[in-house]
Amino acid sequence: MSIHHEVVPVLQEAMITLLRHTANPDTLRSIALHIASALYPETKDDGPSHDTTSTGGDLGPAVSGSSLGLIVLEAYANFLCLEGVENIHKFLKTVTNKVR
C-alpha cells in the first residue's frame, strides 16, 4: 500500500480524530502491531526493501513501507500525548495488561 505525500496530514488528523472517539484496547493493540510490522518486517529475503519513493503519476511521490509506519507512529504519538496522561495510561494498561 502506498499513500501520496499530499494526503499524509489529512490521514494523520483523521487517525487522531478516530482514536479520540473510538480508542479501545483492540484498536490500540492493532495500531501498535501495524507500526511494528511496518518498521520491522519479518522477511528473510535479502531482496530490496519496500519502495518508499515511488512516483504516483500526477500526484507526486508516494509513501509506503517503513515510511508509512513512521507516519502512523507520529500520529499515534500525537494521540497519546493529547489531554494529559490519560491516553498514555490507557495505552500502557493495554500493552502490559497491568493496572497502574
User: Tens of pLDDT along the chain (100 residues)?
Assistant: 678 888 889 989 999 999 888 888 888 888 888 899 988 887 655 444 444 444 445 556 788 788 888 999 999 988 888 877 788 888 888 877 766 5
d(CA 85, CA 30): 21
pLDDT at 46: 47
In a domain, 60, yes or no: no
Evaluate if pTM is beyond 0.75. Answer: no
Residue 49 within any structural domain of the chain: no
- State how far the Cα of 20 lies from the Cα of 3, in Å rounded to an integer: 23
Residue 7 lies in a domain: yes
- 45 in a structural domain: no
**In the prediction, which pLDDT does 62 show?**
81
What is the domain range of residue 29?
Answer: 2-40+65-96
Count of structural domains, the chain: 1
